[in-house]
Amino acid sequence: MQISRSIYSVVQMVDTAAECGLSTRACLAGSNIEPEQLLQLESQIYPQQEFAVIANIVRELPQVPALGLRMAARFHMPVYGVLTFAMCSCATAGDAIDLGLSYHELSFTLVEKHQQVIGNDLVFTFGDRHIPPPLRQIIVERDMFALPRVMDEVFSRQMPKRKVRFAFSAPPHAKLYSELLGLEPEFDAPAHQIVVDAGFRKIPMPQANAATLRHCQAQLQAIVARHKTWGGTSGRVRDMLLRHPAMGPDMEAVAAELRMTSRNLRRMLEAENTSFREIADEVRQTLAEELLGLGKFSVKDVAARLGYSEVSSFTNAFKRWTGRAPRDWRSGQR
């Protein structure tokens, strides 16, 4: 079973590479990501595809220093979508941290994240063993500098960092680490870690709201469930609709892409106890909620991105999925 993830981080990396003179197609070579998908933030990809993009950038831009830091500077709070609203609605910073870690599948990071309270220290440890060795440093660099940046925006204050440790040796641009962190990091450490004052967990969140939190958690559970893609024909259909959401519920087009007739596709999906309509609705609802949750797109924009020619058709479909109109649903999230 694979968990799909937002294309957001790939968009930021491709934009960073473009600033350094690398073309979009060179970044995406061999990743099975099409350039037009970068314009559709509802697109879903897999970690292996993101690894392929990062590998291309590292290989093509060896002369550019601190690529990971350049990438980290582009990340901001909206990357978390509905998860942002949930974390902001928690009672304390500690509750928000716990919630964010429990929904790590919806984060932009590729490192594994764990926390532990040791005396007066809250220690965040970041694992990279699942990341291809040649890519570990740039990904750790990106995630460990971007994550505190995003969290500072969520908490509306800076996390009180005491120590930052990296398991690799000091890079040539280590001076930038100190400037960005505001302290001297440790290199060649046993693990990648950020240490903050454990008292930070007790700080109340300024927008705490129990009702909003319960609502957001229900949405998060549904999103995670729909991000899980199984094998078989239904998995292939989900994957195709996630990567090309504007295709809409066009069974003939999807069947043609899968090199089968629509009749055979229908029969194979029935054997897996599902239907094309159910999968298409599941994917569209997932993407619609994530786009509306970002707050960057109008209802009309979301409808168009999901292949609806009329806003009214999208509104009716969204009411069928959630029982609420898109604008009402988004207001409830906020």
Ramachandran region of residue 160, left (φ > 0), alpha (ψ -120 to 50) or beta? beta
Phi/psi of residue 2, nearest 5 degrees: -115, 150
Spatial distance between the Cα atoms of 276 and 252, rounded to a whole number of angstroms: 10
Half-sphere exposure of 236 (CA within 13 A, CB side): 14
Q: What is the pLDDT along the chain (334 residues), one digit of tens a residue?
A: 456 788 889 999 999 999 999 999 999 999 988 898 888 766 778 888 999 999 999 999 999 989 999 999 998 887 777 888 899 999 999 999 999 999 888 888 999 999 999 999 999 999 999 999 999 999 999 999 999 989 999 999 989 999 999 999 999 999 999 999 989 999 999 999 999 999 999 999 999 999 999 988 988 888 777 666 555 688 888 878 877 777 667 889 888 888 888 888 888 888 777 889 888 888 888 888 888 887 778 999 999 888 888 999 999 999 998 888 999 888 876 5
Q: Is 247 exposed, middle or buried (0-12, 13-18, 19+ CB in 10 A)?
A: middle
Instruction: List, in sequence order, every beta strand (DSSP E) within the chain.
Output: 2-3, 5-6, 44-45, 112-118, 121-127, 161-165, 192-197, 228-229
Query: Which CATH fold topology does 230-333 show?
Result: Arc Repressor Mutant, subunit A (1.10.10)
Return the pLDDT at 120.
95
Spatial distance between the Cα atoms of 298 and 273, rounded to a whole number of angstroms: 35
Half-sphere exposure of 41 (CA within 13 A, CB side): 20
* Positive or negative torsion for Cα 247, 252, 254, 259: negative
Phi/psi of residue 61, nearest 5 degrees: -125, 55
* Domain map (residue ranges) of the chain: 1-64, 80-209, 230-333
Phi/psi of residue 124, nearest 5 degrees: -100, 125
